[in-house]
Amino acid sequence: MTKAAFFDLDKTLVPGSSLFLLARGMYQRDYYRVRDMAGFAWNQVMFRLVGSEREQGMEQSKKAALEFVKGKHRDEFAALGNEIVEEQILPRVYEDIARVIRSHTDAGFETFLVTAAPIELARVVSESLGMTGALGTESEFDDAGRYTGRLVGDILHGPEKAKAVQLLALERGIDLSESHAYSDSTNDLPLLETVGHPHAVNPDHGLRRIARTRGWPIHELRARRRALLIGIPSAVAATGLFAGGVALGAWLANRRRTLS
């Protein structure tokens, strides 16, 4: 059977939030006006401040994100997203993790990015890193290629990641007992417990405690200085390709007014 290695994205491959980086690139290109973003910003900022991933908070943020992208064409996002990934995200990939990916590939493993972020983003990043493929949250499109405001399935978060990996393993003949998984968060514990070789990368307090108790490898890649990226949880932003950008837009607009 095939062996595989599965990698989370935010805070595992890159510091902070990939959606923040995309949003920053969009703002720099004047892709969205501030008034387009304002209606969504409050939910995103409060979600980040509270740090809650309870069902009610997830549902409210999901609805707001889907409404934000509804009616927009996927080709617009695809072209812009490819450009910003090359410019903003790939240069920030931890070199140590990039080497781990290459070492797994050289050893005959299949490698997959598994993230709550949009599948469009996940595919660009995985292809650029020479990975086998990607799993991410999928949004529904109409016949004209525009976002309908609905998801295909659920947000790829928590237990949904484990389910997606198990399904992929059945389809591709992957032996999960001989496979590896890398993540920073206790939210990904179901995924980490699905494979025979779990790894904690830049772990949060909960995952660090679990990893120490169970003897899992811990990889600390963060610089000592505090990261300058705002980590908007990808589980929230996943419901729309660039939904995480609204909080950034509102913040920058307010900052401009303050400075002026």
Domain ranges for the chain, please list them.
Answer: 4-259
Could you say which of 10, 75, 96, 188 is catalytic?
10
Q: Let me know: does 234 contact 242? Beta carbons within 8 Å.
A: no
Check if 106 is active-site.
no
Could you say which of 8, 143, 175, 188 is catalytic?
8
What are the pLDDT digits (tens) for 172-190? 999 999 999 999 999 999 9
User: Is the domain defined by 4-259 classed in CATH 3.40.50.1000?
Assistant: yes
Q: Is the pLDDT of residue 44 over 60?
A: no
Check if 142 is active-site.
no
Write down the pLDDT at residue 116.
Answer: 83
CB neighbours of residue 141 within 10 Å: 14
pTM of the model: 0.76
The one-letter amino acid at 65: A
- For residue 250, name the pLDDT band (cuts at 50, 70, 90): very low
Percent with pLDDT over 90 in the chain: 41
Scan for tokens 């309908």, then name that residue.
Answer: 148
**Greatest CA span in the chain, whole angstroms?**
62
* HSE toward the beta carbon, residue 29, CA cutoff 13 A: 17
Write down the pLDDT at residue 138.
Answer: 81
Q: Is the pLDDT of residue 242 over 70?
A: no
Q: Highest-confidence range of 108-122, 125-139, 168-182, by mean pLDDT?
A: 168-182
CB-count burial class (<10 Å; 0-12, 13-18, 19+) for 106: exposed
